Structure 1
Amino acid sequence: MFLKSIDASSHVKNAAYLCEAIEEVIDEVGEENVVQVVTDNAASYVAAGKLLMERHPKIFWSPCAAHCLDLMLEDIGKLGWVKECVERAKNICKFIYNHALVLSIMRQYTGERELARPGITRFASNFLTLKSLLKSKASLRRMFVGEEWTSSSYATTTAGMDVVDCIFDEPGFWIPCAEIVQVTEPLVVLLRVVDGEKPAMGYIYEGMDRAKEAIRSIYAGVEDKYRPIWDIIDRRWHNQLHRPIHAAAYYLNPSFRFRVDFKADEEVLSGLYSIVQRMVTDTTATLLEMDAFNNASGAIFASQLCKEGRTKLQPGRKF
């Protein structure tokens, strides 16, 4: 739910001020009811988050996952071959949507399917538009050889001929277009998860691993192909997004914890233990509870109802 907004136009939005503003809300809600504070990645917010964790030992700060994923897509969009393809796609859409007659002709051929697709975030829109163009590829090619187009005044304009050249440029446009859509789809899917209404904390860590593995699979494991994309993802993940709370949430998510391919490596366990140490006072009781959880034992974790709910309910959701 929405709690409040603050008019900060007359203040210098440095770390100290932002921390105090957030603390006011924490006091209103009750510190015992706050686990995590999420902000964007601006330097002042990062500094405010660190200051907040120093003052409140049981509260965690994390950067916005959707913002970080959007920045990953932005960085991928800066790669030379990706940028060129996206610019050509934008020119196609701009030309069609800026001319009512051309737009009308397009809709006749695509069955009212639109090309310009609003995304979850700014940069996701670019890749969703590429996906829409791919779906309409055959229709667009029929359109630009059809009588409605060839008899129009736009067919002889420089801009119109440039668009036609692009539409029929298989190796220069459509092949890289398909590759970009494949490569970015795993990140866009994860972006939908973290930007949705359901709590996503328990899925970010695993989601990033899955996205990277999907990208490696697209390139059949050829490192020279997938490594530039991985480097972009890792740079944002390790320097901005990843926090111990993500690893702990992965470990404590029953839908992952009880799968046969579950992996609790050093990073995951380190994240889990640092979170537990920070949050709980009775470590003995907590260790016993964790043991029951790991072994699916006791009255709750061993019950059939609990086992069936591992993949059907959100982590932390009660029957």
Structure 2
Amino acid sequence: MNETVSQWIRRHAWPLTTLDPQAPLGDLLPLRDLAADAAVVTVGASTRQAHELSAIAHRILRFLVEERGFRSLALEGDDPVRVGLDAYVSTGRGDPRAALAEARPFWRTEEILGVVSWMRAHNERHPHDQVRFADVRGQAAPAREDLERRLADDTIGWHERSGDKIVYWGGIAHTRDSPGSLGGHLRERFGPAYLSIGLTFEDGTLPVPVPAPPADFAETPLSAAGLDAFLLNLRAERPDAVRAWLDAPARTRLIGPAQDPAEHLSGGTFGGWFDVVAHHRHVTPVRLLSQ
């Protein structure tokens, strides 16, 4: 079949119909099969500053907990024990809003508060089958490769000690399946029982304006498919044009706290980094935690 990349994306894309974390999860049904044998699923965002990417990460977490029996969340960037979130989701003790106010800046959002509140509500309904935080702290390391190794070792160690299936929610610089990254180490350890999900976008505000990326960025064909938000299995059967796109040296969005729109990720292929992508054409800023 002489199918273009855009045609292939439209044929395989599963539209995402809502950002409401409490809404029915039917638009995420493809994950039921894709994550059927997974021990660890990473949800890597190209920015932590976008409401839409945080909302879909929350919904993916909820789907994996409710439909696939995942029971631990590794929330990258701080220590939930230190700020009191671990105790809150398991016992209800403490004030999650006050706890998050003491966390690192990119946890101080209403979206993360929503995740914590959902975890607590789940545990109240299921006191003998609780969701908990994995002990993955990402302590300071002298070199980037050491940090990646520590993050991976913490995740692997928690899985081995707890027996839990883990959702790891962080940034794509860590979660991409690439040699030396957290994702690469997880692939080496778990093989096909590791699923890498990338969260990407085209443009929006963070709150600084972020224009559409250059034409050679991997996200450009995703947006050219003409869909506002969708889930895409990058492992689906691929014609030559799609294989060339996924296997070519890639650049993709990577916007950190400095919010530099020119920032990007490179040094690999889009199809090598991720098994699945959840793409949004337009994003808006996360909602900073109100007091």
TM-score scaled by structure 1? 0.24
Structure number having the greater strand percentage: 2
Indicate the structure (1 or 2) with the bigger Cα radius of gyration.
Answer: 1
* TM, length-normalised to structure 2: 0.26
